Amino acid sequence: MRNRRLLPAVAVLSTLLPLSACGGGEADSGAEGNAETYPSEPITLVIPYAAGGPTDLVARSLAPFFEQELGESVIPENRPGGSGALGMSTMIQAGPDGHTLQILASSAAAVTPLVEDVDYDESDYVTIGAISQYPYVLAVREDSEYSSAEEFFAAAEESPGTLSVAVPGASSQGAVELQRLAENYDVVTTPVPFEGNAGSIGALLGGNVDATFVVASDDILGQIEAGEFRPIAVGSAERASYLPETPTLQELGYEDLTMGTSYYGLAAPAGTPDEIVAQLEDTLRAALEDPEVVDRVGEKYVPEEFITGEELGELFAEQRAAYEPVLSGATD
């Protein structure tokens, strides 16, 4: 039961042959020539966040399979900074020859361009396909006075802004969803941004915040399994199969808060030839059918049905459309 959506890939000419950007038939010929010999050098896989998080995990899980299938080295390269913007710029400026790719997450695709003054938008890259998906989970400490989401949100309504919630960055989806909760439903909490999941988890473990709202990756699931945290809500449209007792925000009455899923996909610069994009999409599809890759990524995080580049692009577009009314003044 996965959403399947649309963002068209653009095919223009390659930078490996001495062709102008104006094109016609000559440009098409050059693009086809590249596709026939692709890849012709090592591939850089840009990770726009620090090592150790979900983005880093999926990149390093894919790299060996892509090396084997494509016959060239795939080199993961962490380029953290600017809430993913530095990595995006690195990938986009590399040129559309398929030799620089990126792990693209929802935050960088759907949130950062709305809240930061960045030099890119969705026209600057093409999505190749989704690798994994993580719902956001709202969790409290096991010894919290709030035993359910209903109790937590009731307290937030009664005393606006007094409950603090750790989020993995000021422009993370978690932070935006809390802002939507406040603006659309008058449930006001105080988001406290940290660098990634680790800082948010540490803050809750230390009793420095009342809750955390982060992606349900293995690090937070480990805290739940160890009895340190209690999950009280998820931000996805449907319950997570591995947190079956945890209700969605929509079930709790917040009807339009269904965008709290972070998608992690593969992207390339706009203008990458269609044939190369198709080859990469086929390779990604095969990777997600490989038991070793699935095990490294985490079977519970791999979409049940493959999400193509077009479908992933539309998922990002839907998230942007939901967030823009709330964030439209963020860069003014």
CATH number given to 135-234? 3.40.190.10
Residue extents of the structural domains in the chain: 24-133+262-327, 135-234
Residue with tokens 């995080």, as numbered in its chain? 301
CA distance 212 to 148: 14
H or E stretch including 37? helix 24-37
**Per-residue CA distances from 58 to 47, 55, 148, 245, 304 (Å):** 9, 5, 32, 27, 16
Looking at domain 24-133+262-327, its CATH superfamily turns out to be: Bordetella uptake gene, domain 1 (3.40.190.150)
Q: Provide the residue-wise pLDDT of the chain in tens; the chain has 332 residues.
A: 333 333 333 333 333 333 333 333 333 434 443 678 999 999 999 998 878 777 888 899 999 999 999 999 999 999 888 778 888 889 999 989 999 999 999 988 999 889 888 888 899 999 999 999 999 999 999 999 999 999 999 999 999 999 999 998 888 899 999 999 999 999 999 999 987 788 999 999 999 999 999 999 999 999 999 999 999 999 999 999 999 999 999 999 999 999 999 999 999 999 999 999 999 999 999 999 999 999 999 999 999 999 999 999 999 999 999 999 988 755 44
Per-residue model confidence (pLDDT) at position 2: 37
Instruction: Tell which phi-psi region holds residue 54, choosing left (phi > 0), alpha (psi between -120 and 50) or beta.
Output: alpha
Report yes or no: 7 and 309 within 8 Å, Cβ to Cβ: yes
Closest CA to 44 of 108, 98, 4: 98
